[in-house]
Each structure stands twice: as structure tokens, then as C-alpha cells.
Amino acid sequence: MKLWLVYALITTLFWGVWGALIEVPEKAGFPATLGYSVWALTMIPCALVALRVGKWHLDRDLRSVMLGSAVGFLGAGGQLLLFEALRSGPAYLVFPIVSLYPVLTIILSVTFLKERASRRGWAGIAVALPAIVLLSYQPPSESGGSAAVWLPMAVLVFVMWGIQAFFMKSANKTMTAESIFFYMAATGVALIPVALAMTDFQAPINWGFKGPGAAALIQVLNSIGALTLVYAVRYGQAIIVVPMTSLAPMLTILISLVLYQVIPGPILVTGMVLALIAIVLMAE
């Protein structure tokens, strides 16, 4: 059994379900920045489970701490920066830019880690990249923000997430996957004060179960998916795993179709078809 494929599919599944449900607490009046804080806290039990699986071994040397923390800060910091980019920029432009981060991961992994793929694998990667962009499509809407404000932030998120996956693969060569995830959880929690500072507490906030309670149940899916991603990258190639797991929006659209009766347009349907083809090709 290909362990990398099992873990990659679990990540894709959990992130797909998470994406379909993430707006539930937000629509109930629980802001995304507080949702981030809840997500960071759900990383803690997942990290403890991982350490238990790894017999409580934690890599504590300086290189491991630096690499693990870099993976965490790049991922969590990019998420917070994305919130800020979406405040001033149009989602239909921000998301496609950010969604292309697997391209950077592929370039870095091929250049520095010397990763290679079969012709079928490269074909899957080639099909996955346009699928990722199509699946991130958002209907155009008016935005008063200047591109000079949101565009650099969107590009920076693209760079941060692309480098994150590369660092994750690099770290897996000398660290245990459990240690990497522990530092990801620790850095995520460390950035909670930043998320709180970004929150408008003057606006009404739903502190009932539909707010933080629902957020916790939904965000733990993201945390589990992040954990299995670390294992997928450990056992597989980043140039295959990252594009595959980035196709989670395909499941999000399908679940949204069932839950909210949202009919996808031709752009999203095309993206879904390409995503399915890409997964079949990459799962060789």
C-alpha cells in the first residue's frame, strides 16, 4: 500500500469537507480571525496524538526547531495575511494567485531536492495546476481596495505557502513527522495574539455553540488534514502530494452542492473534471 497516497487522500477529503463547512460559524457571526484562533487550539490535541504515536520523541536540536517553526510560521502566517488581503482585495483575483503556490513547491523540489516523476505523474501535475486555478474561481465583485495594497500580500502568501511545503519535505529528511507537526501547532498557537489583534471586537460576535463550538468541530478537520499532509510529504514526493491535496476544493464544491443546493458554473465544472483526471494520473 502506498502510504503517501493514503495520507494525501485523507488530507484532500478532510480539507474538502472543512472547506464546505467553514462558512457556517462565519455566517453565524463568528469572524474568521477568531476561527483561526480556534483552529490553532485544535492543533494541540492532534499534536499530542502525533507525539503519542511517535512514543513522545521530539527533535529538539536547533536545526529541527528552526525548520519545524519555519513550516508552521509560513503556513499560519500566510493564513493571517490572506485574511488581510481579502479585506482590501477582490476574492476572484486573490484566490487564483494564492492557489498557484504548488508551482513554487514543484520548482523548489525539482531544483534542490532533485525530485522526479514519471511521465504519467508529470501529466497529472500539468492537469492539476489549471484545475486548482479554476476551482478557486470566485464571481467578480466590486472592491474599493487598491491593487498596491492587496496584490503584494496575495503574492507573499503564494510564496510563503509554496516555500512551506518545500521546507516540510526538507524537514522530513532529518526530523520525525510528529516533531514537524508539533512545531506547526506551537507556532500556530503563538500567532493567536495576532489574530485577536486583527479581530473587530466592536462588531457583534456569536459566542454561542454556533460560533466557537461549531468552529472547533469544523477546524479540527483542518488540523487532522494538516497532520496527514506531513505524513504524505514524508512518504511521497512534494511535487505530487502538494498539487493533489490542493484539489480539495473539488470535494468542497460537491458537498456544497448537496448541502446548499449550489449549482456550479461551467468554470467550476471544468475544474472538477480536470481535478478528477489529475488525481487519477498522479495516484500511479
Three-class secondary structure of residue 174 per DSSP: coil
> What local confidence, expressed as pLDDT, does residue 2 receive?
87
pLDDT at site 284: 67
Distances (CA, A) of 239 to 14, 22, 62, 176, 233: 20, 27, 27, 20, 9
Residues of the chain with pLDDT under 50: none
In a 3-state reduction of DSSP, which class is residue 215? helix
Cα separation of 121 and 138, whole Å? Answer: 28
pTM value surpassing 0.85: yes
What pLDDT, on the 0 to 100 scale, is given for residue 261?
Answer: 78
Q: What angle do CA 253, 10, 79 make, to 5 degrees?
A: 65
7, 9, 14: which is closest to 220 by C-alpha? 14
Q: Please, are residues 104 and 159 in contact by the beta-carbon 8 Å criterion? A: yes
What would the grid cell of residue 9 be? 487522500
Which DSSP state fits 33?
H
Q: Could you tell me the end-to-end alpha-carbon distance of the chain, in angstroms, rounded to an integer?
A: 12
Sequence-distant (≥ 6) Cβ neighbours of residue 154 within 8 angstroms: 82, 85, 89, 93, 94, 97, 98
**Residue 28: what pLDDT?**
94
User: To which residue does cell 487598491 refer?
Assistant: 146
- Dihedral over Cα of 54, 112, 74, 222: its sign: negative
What pLDDT does 170 receive? 94
Query: Looking up cell 443546493, which residue turns up?
Result: 261
Supply the pLDDT for residue 168: 96
